[in-house]
Amino acid sequence: MDLLSSTWMTRSLGESASALYLRDDGSLFAGGWDGRLKYWDQDGALVWTASLPDRITVLKVHDGAVFATAGLHVVCLESTSGEQRWSHALEGSADSLIIFQKQVYAVSSVYDIEHNDFLESAVWNFSFDGAMNWVKRMDERPWVILEHQSQLWLGLGRPMCGFSSIDGDGIISHRSTETDSPITSGSKTANTLFFGHANGVVSNHDGVTVSSEESAIEHLFAFEDGYIAALENGILLRRNDTVEAWSSSGDTITTQRCGFAYNKSQTHWAGRWSGSQGCLEVRDAVTGQVLISSQSSRCESIASNSNRIAVGFDNGDICLWERSMFERRMKNGNKSEKKDERKSALQDKLRALRDR
């Protein structure tokens, strides 16, 4: 099976795809390195295109609005039309944002090239209509912002490290972890919160060390009984509680995410990059067995729901797989649907011409 020629749809963003948001209904928002934002409906038809000030790193959709970080700015647009509602320039780069209790929280940081370090960071709070409620400045950069059990949590870098909760008034409560190392990544489920550290340690929401890996934790995907971690040295591994279930070494992992189920087991999708060649791997998340892999452009972003998964590439391609089609292609080995594939390819070309 050729993974990249077996997509439900392939579209072009026209620039490197840096952020994706996949709705439950299958419609898709994609943002790029130069600020282009596109929205396709659940049938794959382009609805609108917008231009934001700079590289889009995070996309969130809530109550008819699209929220994005774009360079120094946090931007809000109408989800149905792409019309801009409001935009705010932050102090330094807009690194992340999250929607929490009907408010917008954004994280910014100021980087000093001479000192090769972050000088100051801040958490900003906006109402949905764009009014700034408050800003909380700090010395540490929040590398992660997550909602867990009705609270917002910030995973912090130096000098303080550890993690903090922040309430609706900007009041911060700090917690230390057993390891004094910057938090670089995080992931959560309904009952579990994990933080990955620069020294390879994984901590839980009590600050207790769960495990210690051999390299920095760059990406985490949490389960109730464990996590899948992507390490700086190219190792991808799963732990169930403290027991290693499987691991796989290779080139640098650029992004990872779990996707829809296949053969009653959740799939896991990961992009690797050798420096000149990319690879997209799909494996059984439980056993670690690689189901299929294909060479590709560099994978920059992944979004998923229970029926679809979308991957954005450095060459601007947006590829989307649909669960039932993926299952059918895997079982048939792509042999029985060649006619449909040619028809789909023609349709994609027609859409590309229309989108120009």
Closest CA to 175 of 194, 160, 187, 158: 160
Confidence at residue 41, expressed as pLDDT on a 0 to 100 scale:
98
In whole angstroms, give the CA distance from residue 231 to residue 190: 24
Lowest-pLDDT choice from 11-15, 27-31, 82-86, 350-354: 350-354
Radius of gyration of the chain (CA): 20
Q: Which residue has the higher pLDDT, 301 or 117?
A: 301
CB 225 within 8 A of CB 197: no
In whole angstroms, give the CA distance from residue 73 to residue 51: 13
Q: Is the pLDDT reported for residue 222 higher than 90?
A: yes
CB 218 within 8 A of CB 253: yes
In whole angstroms, give the CA distance from residue 184 to residue 98: 17
Bond into 159 cis (ω within 30): yes
In whole angstroms, give the CA distance from residue 230 to residue 45: 34
Q: N- to C-terminal Cα distance for the chain? A: 31
Q: Is the pLDDT reported for residue 289 higher than 60?
A: yes
Confidence at residue 266, expressed as pLDDT on a 0 to 100 scale:
96
Per-residue pLDDT tens over the stretch 19-67: 999 999 999 999 999 999 999 999 999 999 999 999 999 999 999 999 9
Confidence at residue 333, expressed as pLDDT on a 0 to 100 scale:
78
CA dihedral 73→79→82→84, nearest 10 degrees, is: -40
Q: Is the pLDDT reported for residue 341 higher than 60?
A: no
Lowest-pLDDT choice from 187-191, 212-216, 278-282, 338-342: 338-342
Per-residue pLDDT tens over the stretch 164-215: 999 999 999 999 999 999 999 999 999 999 999 999 999 999 999 999 999 9
Q: What is the mean pLDDT of the chain?
A: 93
CA atoms within a 13 Å half-sphere pointing along the CA-CB vector of 161? 16
The domain limits of the chain are 1-16+259-356
Identity of the amino acid at 81: S
